[in-house]
Amino acid sequence: MTTPATSPRTLFEKIWHEHVVFEPHGQPPLLYIDLHLVHEVTSPQAFDGLRAAGRSVRRPGRTLVTVDHNVPTTPGHLPITDPIAARQMEALRRNCEEFGLALYDIDSPDQGIVHVIGPELGATQPGLTIVCGDSHTSTHGAFGALAFGIGTSEVEHVLATQCLPQQRPRTMEIRVNGLLPEGVTAKDLVLGIIGTIGTDGATGHVVEYTGNAVRSLSMEGRMTVCNMSIEAGARAGMVAPDEVTFAYLRGRRFSPSGAAWDKAVVRWSALRSDPGAHYDRLVEIDASSLAPFVTWGTNPGMVAPVTATVPDPAAASTAAERGAAERALAYMALAPGTAIEDISVDRVFIGSCTNSRIEDLRAAARVARGRKVNAKVRAMVVPGSQAVKREAEAEGLDQVFRDAGFEWRDSGCSMCLGMNPDVLQPGERCASTSNRNFEGRQGRGGRTHLVSPMMAAAAAIEGHFTDVRKWRF
């Protein structure tokens, strides 16, 4: 099963090989999990399972727990008006106490979206295997980790054993040549990729993103790209670690320090695909051909450049695609041929594990500075974590947003999936920096258009989509 150490290996193969505990006869390899991230929504039934079987958590120190999906984003995360959400958060509290797990609770200065706090605490590191009961766990692959989402039964499996039986996935290289033009961001890059390969284009594969455009991205940008790997069906997304990665990690709470840091950097520097390493598939993308993108339909693959028009389903290549496009346009209340820039919005959401980090907020603030949110738009900025919030406030970004008429909120998943009170009303149209434009995702009957933070801020100001490349700052 494993490739001999002498032949060229991909980044994925190196991490996989290092983590195979052993290969039982007639069973998939048993993979060791270095870091398990846990949140309130996908864990209660897993803890119940442990209790029912009389099992304990094998490695509490490798388990990082927070509340993010349900938390209100009103000041101080209060009040919690939903008794069922409160019960779920209380269950996590009790489970952490019973099983001896540290919890970054609602009142912790370290609370935040689990995929934001893992990296910012330095818990996410190159070469680790990381899982979480959340599909956007692929985010952590930005550090050269093998990180993937799992279901609740697997959450229980990892809690009990720190291992998962795993079939080895296939590999895919997505090589992004050239450089992204000004105003075209990591979000546009990943939307462009999904638009090209489709929402199941990477199913069964671990994707490694390579090429100049990827190397040139900040850690925040790489996290945005890896985050949305799952929207192309990928098992995981990865970027090999480099100086950008090391600079981000240096000095963080759980990062190694002193001599251990130097040793870690040597080890991490070897985590790159060898020349000539074999991937099962290769996709090449020309970064210079990309534009700011806006989704027009009900999955992230239904995407168009801001300068384009809403496509005509009649032009679809198959009957199934035509039907899907017709259904999506009916839900989105859009006519074929409408210029994307003529689509007006009621709401704007800047946040989520895709785009709520400090660099995302800086980009949005650059657009918002000295301008005003359109009178008919309600716009909201939700930092990904308490730490991001503090950093943004120290830079005065909160004031930029408030002055422009944006609401400045507390940290959480918020309107990305609307499990807390932040939801769209039926028929409302939203420019959102999140990751899914599925029907009803942000609230039943709500219409979501996925965009970058700059594009979202610009839409808030104009009241409709607009090409941010034409703006002067």
Site track for other proteins across 92-131, x = CB under 8 A: ----------------------------------------
Tell the residue number behind the tokens 């700059």, with chain if given: 454
User: Would you call 71 helix, strand, or coil by DSSP?
Assistant: coil
Q: Which residues of 5-39 are buried (b: 16+ CB within 10 A; e: fewer)?
A: eeeebbbbbbbbeebbeeeeeeeebbbbbbbbbbb
- Under the binding rule (CB under 8 A), the answer on residue 436 touching other proteins is yes
> Is 243:205 a contact under the CB 8 Å cutoff?
no
- Under the binding rule (CB under 8 A), the answer on residue 21 touching other proteins is yes
Residue numbers 124-163 binding other proteins by CB under 8 A: 133-135, 149-154, 156-157, 160-163
Among 17, 28, 316, 391, binds other proteins (CB under 8 A): 28
User: Would you call 278 helix, strand, or coil by DSSP?
Assistant: coil
- Under the binding rule (CB under 8 A), the answer on residue 48 touching other proteins is yes
111-119, 229-237, 273-281, 335-343 -> range binding other proteins (CB under 8 A): 229-237
**394 Cβ partners below 8 Å, 6+ apart?**
none
- Under the binding rule (CB under 8 A), the answer on residue 32 touching other proteins is yes
> Is 362:220 a contact under the CB 8 Å cutoff?
no
Q: Which is nearer to other proteins, 152 or 216 (CB)?
A: 152
Q: Which is nearer to other proteins, 85 or 180 (CB)?
A: 85
Across 324-397, the runs of DSSP E, i.e. the strands, are 347-350, 378-381
Kind of pairing between the strands at 20-22 and 30-32: antiparallel
> Is 91:40 a contact under the CB 8 Å cutoff?
yes
Among 63, 66, 73, 88, binds other proteins (CB under 8 A): 88
Instruction: For residue 205, give the nearest of 172, 239, 165 by alpha carbon.
Output: 172
Q: Which is nearer to other proteins, 42 or 374 (CB)?
A: 42
Tell the residue number behind the tokens 């609370």, with chain if given: 111
> Is 185:225 a contact under the CB 8 Å cutoff?
no
- Under the binding rule (CB under 8 A), the answer on residue 26 touching other proteins is yes
Q: Which residues of 229-245 are buried (b: 16+ CB within 10 A; e: fewer)?
A: bbbbbbbbbbbbbbebb
- Under the binding rule (CB under 8 A), the answer on residue 203 touching other proteins is yes
Q: Which is nearer to other proteins, 200 or 262 (CB)?
A: 200
Q: Which is nearer to other proteins, 234 or 277 (CB)?
A: 234
- Under the binding rule (CB under 8 A), the answer on residue 259 touching other proteins is no
**Cβ 393 to other proteins shortest distance, Å:** 29
Q: Which is nearer to other proteins, 267 or 402 (CB)?
A: 267
- Under the binding rule (CB under 8 A), the answer on residue 196 touching other proteins is no
- Under the binding rule (CB under 8 A), the answer on residue 384 touching other proteins is no
- Under the binding rule (CB under 8 A), the answer on residue 199 touching other proteins is yes
Rg, the chain, Cα only: 22
User: Would you call 205 helix, strand, or coil by DSSP?
Assistant: strand
**Cβ 399 to other proteins shortest distance, Å:** 33
Instruction: For residue 170, give the nearest of 236, 228, 225 by alpha carbon.
Output: 236
**Sites of contact with other proteins (CB under 8 A):** 21-22, 24, 26-28, 30, 32, 41-42, 44-45, 48-49, 53, 55, 69-70, 82, 84-85, 87-88, 91, 133-135, 149-154, 156-157, 160-163, 165, 167, 169, 199-200, 203-204, 230-231, 233, 235, 299, 320, 324, 327, 417-419, 426, 436, 438-441, 444-445
